[in-house]
Structure 1
Amino acid sequence: MAVPGKKETEQFSSSATLIGSDEDLKVYCQPCDRDGPRIPAHGYCTECQEHLCETCFTVHKKHTLSRHHTLLDKNNMPATLQLSSTAVTASQPDRLTKPCPAHKKEVIKFYCHDHKTLLCNVCVTLEHTAKTCKVDYIPNVSGKSIDGKEYKNILKAIDNITGQCHKMSEDVKKVTASSNSSLKNVLANIDKFRKEVNQRLDELERQAKDAVKVKQQENDKKLKTVETTCDDVSTSLKTRSATIKQLNTSKQAGTLFMELKFAEKMIEDYEKTIQQVTAYEVKEYNFKPNEAMSTIVTEKSFGKLTTKTLKHTRPSAVTDIKSRKASHQDDICIKTSKDKNVCLIKGMTFLTPDLLVITDFGNKAIKMVDTNSKSVTDQLQLDTEPYDVTSVTSTDFAVTLPEKQTIQFISVSSKKLKKRHTLKVAENCSGISCHQGKFVVSFINPAKLQILNNNGTILKTIKGENTFSKPMHVTTGSSFIYVSDWAMKTVTRLNWLGEVTGSYRGELVTPQGISLSDDRTVFVCDSEKKVIEEISGECSAGKTVLKEPNCPRTVCWNAKTSALYFSCKSANEKYANFLHVFKLS
Structure 2
Amino acid sequence: MEVPGRKESSDDKVKRKCQPCQDENVLHEAYGYCTTCGEYLCDACYKYHLRPKPFKDHVLIEYKTITSKDRAPTPPGSYKHNVFDDQVLQQGENGDKCMTEEPPPPVPRRTRVYSTKCSLHPLDDLKYRCKTHKVIVCSECALKKHRHCDNLDNIHDIYDSESERIVSKIQYVEDKAAYILKQETNANEGADVSYEEVLSQIRLDREQVNTYLYETEKRLNNEVYRFREESKNRQTEMLDICQKLKKKKDLIKDTNLSEIERYISMTEGECEIDNINRDLKGVFGLPRLRVSYKSQYPLLDSKNLVVEKHKREIGRRELKLLKKVNIARGNQTCSITDIATPSNETFPVILVDFRNQKLIMISVEYSLIYHQLEWIPWGITFISYDRPNGEIAITCSYDDRILFFTIGQKIAKIAESKRTSIKVESPRGIRYHKSENVMIVAVNNFQNASIQCWSLNGDLVRTIASFGYCIESINLTHDNQIIFGSLSKHCIQSCDMSGKVLRYFPYIDDSMCGPYGIASDQSQSIYVCGFKCLRVVSREGEWNELLTRDDGFKPQSLLVSNRSDRLYVAQEKGCTDLLIFEL
Shorter-chain TM-score: which interval? Answer: 0.3 to 0.5
TM-score (norm 1): 0.42
Q: In terms of Rg, which structure is larger?
A: 2
Q: TM-score normalized by structure 2?
A: 0.42
